[in-house]
Amino acid sequence: MMQAAFSHVRPKACCFRAALDRSATFCDECGQPILRCMASEECGGLLDEDGRCPVCVAPELSIDAGAVSSVKVGGALSIPLLITNTSAVGRPLFIKEMWVKAPDKALTPVDLAFQRLASGAVAEVSVSTGALPTAGVHRIEVIFIAATRYLWREECYAFSASFAVDVEAESAGSIVQNINVSADQIGAGMTIYNPTRMQREKADAPARRAEPIVLTLQRADSFERQEGYRGYESGIAVPRSVALAWAGFDHGQVPPDGPIRTQTGVLSFGRASNAAHSGMNDVRLVISGPDGTDEDASVHISRRHFLLYVENDRLMLRVESQNGLSVNGDPLRRGETAILKDGDVIAPLVRRPDAISLQVSFDVPADEVGQVVLRRRIGTGRR
Ligand SMILES: [Zn+2]
Ligand SMILES: [Zn+2]
């Protein structure tokens, strides 16, 4: 049977219902795979079609009604921003980096005095536009990287928001201007920030602090790839829903072809059993052939040797064995991780790399990997 492509799975109401059964791996109603957040033990979330858990990664950016003055031509504006972690389930969010971009200027890093934001917490960030040389409405863009962590894993996402600031001509003095800008001129959904007016509202009603203006956030997926936060340098991506296909294994050693279906999204490989429910692994890794298992040679493979999972749109490996392993001949120790690429060869036995190895092949129909083939090779050195 052809393996259906599950790129960009959007969970439906039926899928959330099916996911209440913690062991469910497919929705019994629509047949889509259930792609749980890596932290689903804590959040119960399913990944959206862009690979983000909306329960864990729920930042909100707003402009605070802080004490700022209007800006004249040539002046710089300091904009007080508030960043909030609106996650309702107590999952912390990590704001790793932030940039501001004014028209015709490069991205400028913003100093962050914090990184970890507990759920419900609000942090203040002051963003400077740099000198604004001409009068009129200027579009200011803010981009930031938000990360969610679970055990040793981390998923990063870029978000962007933009708003307009009005730069007064030199002659305007302190007169509060009315801004008449249509959505066509600055883009739909854009917030116009008029510090003079906000200042005035604040002064008129000192008892009532003006409300922060919540900005519309967008996933900046091309920024994520260009800047190396997600996907591969070559521009391709391995979505969480990628289909795995197994080759060169014996019957019963591997799970069925298709997306990773474990609850945590991690597949474990090792010598110990992979029996359903009771087994320690998802993939049984032994040196075996038509004559059965070579127990003496297989004993050097650890009971649990390594893990495979998708993180930041990349296929990842993490070493679990005390003995380490090698990828393309490069040794890796326990706890180390590697990004796997097309053509990589994983050798569980560092000193006998030819005894057993796994070759990774990517099938890339467009800019996204549709299928990853993992081929077990036994005794390649002797053939
Ligand atoms: Zn469904
Ligand atoms: Zn989550």
- CA distances 184 to 109, 216, 332, Å, are 29, 17, 54
For residue 65, the CA-to-ligand 2 centroid distance in Å is 31
Cβ(268)–Cβ(307) below 8 Å: yes
For residue 92, the CA-to-ligand 2 centroid distance in Å is 10
pLDDT values of the chain reduced to their tens digit, one per residue, 383 residues: 333 444 678 999 999 999 999 889 999 999 999 999 999 999 999 999 989 999 999 999 998 876 454 677 888 888 889 999 999 899 999 999 999 999 888 999 999 988 999 999 999 999 988 888 888 888 899 999 999 999 999 999 999 999 888 787 765 444 444 344 444 444 544 556 665 555 555 555 444 446 788 999 999 999 999 999 999 999 899 999 999 999 999 999 999 999 999 989 999 999 999 988 788 999 999 999 888 899 999 999 999 999 999 999 999 999 999 999 999 999 999 999 999 999 999 999 999 999 999 999 999 988 889 999 999 999 875 43
For residue 153, the CA-to-ligand 2 centroid distance in Å is 12
Ligand found nearest the CA of 42: 2
First to last CA, the chain: 32
pLDDT of 60: 97
For residue 90, the CA-to-ligand 1 centroid distance in Å is 27
- CA distances 36 to 24, 29, 50, 235, 252, Å, are 10, 17, 13, 25, 25
Alpha-carbon gap, residue 201 to 195, rounded angstroms: 10
pLDDT of 195: 56
Alpha-carbon gap, residue 154 to 171, rounded angstroms: 52
pLDDT of 103: 87
- Picking from 293, 294, 329, 322, the residue whose alpha carbon sits closest to that of residue 306 is 322
E strand or H helix at 222: helix 221-226
Neighbours of 45 (CB within 10 A): 26
Q: What token pair was written down for 100?
A: 């501001």
Ligand found nearest the CA of 43: 2
Ligand found nearest the CA of 12: 1
For residue 52, the CA-to-ligand 2 centroid distance in Å is 8
Residues with CB under 5 A from ligand 2 (ion): 37, 39, 43, 45, 53, 55-56
Q: Could you read off the pLDDT of 131-175 as tens digits, one per residue?
A: 888 888 888 999 999 999 999 999 999 999 998 887 877 654 444
**What's the longest Cα–Cα distance across the chain?**
91
pLDDT of 332: 98
For residue 99, give every residue at least 6 positions away whose Cβ sits within 8 Å of its Cβ, in sequence order, or none: 107, 108, 109, 110, 142, 143, 144
E strand or H helix at 225: helix 221-226
Cβ(339)–Cβ(365) below 8 Å: no
For residue 290, the CA-to-ligand 1 centroid distance in Å is 41
Ligand found nearest the CA of 36: 2
Quick one: three-class SS letters along 291-311? CEECHHHHCCCCCCCEEEEEE
Query: Could you tell me where the beta strands, DSSP code E, fall in 151-242?
Result: 153-168, 191-193, 213-214, 218-219
For residue 383, the CA-to-ligand 1 centroid distance in Å is 47
Q: What token pair was written down for 309?
A: 């999972």
| Domains observed in the chain | 59-226 (2.60.40.10), 243-382 (2.60.200.20)
For residue 262, the CA-to-ligand 2 centroid distance in Å is 15
pLDDT of 91: 96
For residue 352, the CA-to-ligand 1 centroid distance in Å is 46
Cβ(381)–Cβ(354) below 8 Å: yes
pLDDT of 346: 98
For residue 16, the CA-to-ligand 1 centroid distance in Å is 7
Reported as half-sphere exposure (CB side, CA atoms, 13 A), residue 227 has a value of 17
Ligand found nearest the CA of 26: 1
Chain centroid to CA 59: how far? 13
- Picking from 271, 279, 161, 179, the residue whose alpha carbon sits closest to that of residue 223 is 161
Alpha-carbon gap, residue 259 to 257, rounded angstroms: 7
For residue 243, the CA-to-ligand 1 centroid distance in Å is 18
